[in-house]
Structure 1
Amino acid sequence: MSNAPGTPTASIGLRTAAHVGISVGDLDRSVAFYRALLGTEPVVRDETMHGPGFAQSQGLPVTKLRYATFNLDNLGIDLIQFLDPAGEPAQGAANRPGTMHLCFLVDDVYAVHARMREAGFDFLGEPYTFAEGEVNPADALGTQVAYFNDPDGTNLEIIAPRGGFARPE
């Protein structure tokens, strides 16, 4: 079994996401961070999973983990701390292939950025508004973004699209 996916030969048609899983080094630290960020308590906290079948489903010889789940209006966030085997921290810079980011929709990036800075969140840079000549398609002009990381370096974003998001039906 290869870790690299092959070239798909057919369209599957998946259209609804259930959750995103984020591997963390310290579950308690990450729960505190996401609790502050989201303003809510996890719906599941300090649960465990282990066993040979579960390990094999993840391509591991063994596994034992603890996790917590936060539910947003449209997506769950699973924070997963692998106890056995514990992994090495990822080098999650935005330009590294395989790196993902999780984006949160807000009404005004500059206002939320200011509130987050006051609350102690660190950002990778200042908020930015997409300008003419720098973004295509043109209807993205005026979109506001700001980027930050969680305690393990997971890339996070806040975004306020000009004209709002077109949500899939």
Structure 2
Amino acid sequence: MSAQFSFHHLGLVVEDLDRAVGFYTDVLGMTRDGRTEWTVIEGEPLGIDAAEVELRWEFLKLGAVRLELHEFRNLPATSARRATQDPGLGHLALAVTDMDEAVAALVAGGVDFFSPVNLLTDSPGQEGDRWVYCRDPFGLTIELYETASPARRAAVAA
């Protein structure tokens, strides 16, 4: 393959841009990286069956990764929330250095978790790593992932 690709950003559609920006900055620690207020553009280039759509968006950063949040106005949306196993974006995975602290911060931010924190014991190279899934207030599944310390990795692998 001759084309060269690199990651630019991940786009998410949210119901309320201001609320979403607050969650992603206040609870997850992302930083703001540019906002466009309400504008009207053609729907076709976005894959939307409408002559024009009204939307606004904001870019956020977490390390080298950029997240773009879109809010559309006056467009119908499906009522069903996407399930983790549905084709498309399965989840957004965030590395954490202290799982217990991260879970506590998200619980305080109103996030519900699918289960308690899980410990990997039989995944080669990941022994001792911990993970947990939750859903943000806008329906996106988020995984928190904590890489094991060398001591914990050795203890679990033994």
Instruction: Tell me if both proteins adopt one fold, taking TM over 0.5 as the criterion.
Output: yes
Aligned match of 1:36: 26
Deviation, 1:45, is 3.6
Q: Does 1:56 align with 2:41?
A: no
- Stretch of structure 1 that moved more, 96-105 or 36-45: 36-45
- Cα deviation per residue 1:140-164 (whole Å; 9 max; x = unaligned)? 2211111111112111111112369
- For the 8 Å contact 1:93–1:99, the answer to whether it is kept is no
User: 1:27–1:89: structure 2 CA closer, same or farther, 3 Å change rule?
Assistant: farther
Aligned match of 1:127: 117
Using the aligned pairs only, state the percent identity.
26
TM-score normalised over the length of structure 2: 0.78
Match of 2:62 among 72, 87, 107: 72
Q: Does 1:139 align with 2:129?
A: no
More strand by share: 2
Amino acid in the other structure paired with 2:145: I
Aligned match of 1:100: 90
User: 1:152–1:120: structure 2 CA closer, same or farther, 3 Å change rule?
Assistant: closer
- Cα deviation per residue 1:46-83 (whole Å; 9 max; x = unaligned)? 5234222xx22112232211112211211111110111
- For the 8 Å contact 2:111–2:137, the answer to whether it is kept is no
Aligned residues: 148
Separation (CA, whole Å) in 1 of partners of 2:30 and 2:84: 27
- For the 8 Å contact 1:102–1:157, the answer to whether it is kept is yes
Q: Which secondary structure does the structure 1 equivalent of 2:144 belong to? A: strand
Separation (CA, whole Å) in 1 of partners of 2:41 and 2:106: 40
- For the 8 Å contact 2:27–2:109, the answer to whether it is kept is no
Separation (CA, whole Å) in 1 of partners of 2:23 and 2:58: 12
Please list every run of 5 or more consecutive structure 2 residues that lacks an aligned counterpart in the other structure.
151-158
User: 1:51–1:115: structure 2 CA closer, same or farther, 3 Å change rule?
Assistant: closer
TM-score normalised over the length of structure 1: 0.74
Q: Which secondary structure does the structure 2 equivalent of 1:63 belong to? A: strand
Q: Which secondary structure does the structure 2 equivalent of 1:87 belong to? A: coil
Aligned match of 1:21: 11
Separation (CA, whole Å) in 2 of partners of 1:162 and 1:81: 37
Q: Which secondary structure does the structure 1 equivalent of 2:125 belong to? A: helix
Match of 1:160 among 138, 146, 152: 146
Instruction: Report matched runs for 1:74-93 at 5 Å.
Output: 74-93=64-83
Separation (CA, whole Å) in 2 of partners of 1:40 and 1:102: 14
User: 1:124–1:98: structure 2 CA closer, same or farther, 3 Å change rule?
Assistant: same
